[in-house]
Homo-oligomer: A and B are copies of this chain.
Amino acid sequence: MTEPEPRWLSDEEQRMWRASMGVLNLLPLYLERDLQQLHGLTVHDYEILVRLSEAPDRRLRLTELAGLSHQSKSRLSHQMTRMENAGLVARESCDSDRRGQWAVLTEQGWERLVQAAPDHVASVRRHFVDLLTDEQKRVLGEAFGTVVAHLSGVDGGATCPKVLSQGTAQKPGGKARV
């Protein structure tokens, strides 16, 4: 009994895959650069700020925040420490579960987010969204929706975090408005 020949990618698939990896590698560099230069924030900082800004009472339990932002708890813990030192967030202990902690957006964190958001959305448009036609946006939204659902749902054998979407170019505070 011999191994079946692997299903190598077709030329078309190969191009698509390589382009995807290219975007995956390059896009964060540009977003990071813009955000860093203009507002002294990393993309990770920004992501945390957005998630907290959208949460009720601008606070989330650490585990939930870790999930929403696709990070391990350990990593988030270190990152929280850095952001706490920068005054962007604070930790508050949780009454209903005394193991737990709230990550809370500070007033200063909120202000930094509000300042940064317009430039960040412009950056996202310039390097990504505005390069796509309406049809491409539609198809891509559907396609990646499927992929994310799969990746979030798949039992990763406990190695991979099971978690949903992420976003970083929304008006601060979500529908609630500033």
Contact = CB atoms under 8 A, between A and B. Distances in A.
Contacts of A142: 136
A148 B33 CA distance: 17
Which of A6, A13, A167: most chain B Cβ within 10 A? Answer: A13
A90 interface: no
A-side interface mostly:
helix
Contacts of A139: 135-136, 139-140, 143
Contacts of A167: 14, 17-18, 21
Interface of A: 3, 6-9, 12-30, 33, 70, 117-118, 121-122, 124-125, 127-129, 131-133, 135-148, 150-152, 154, 156-157, 159-161, 163-171
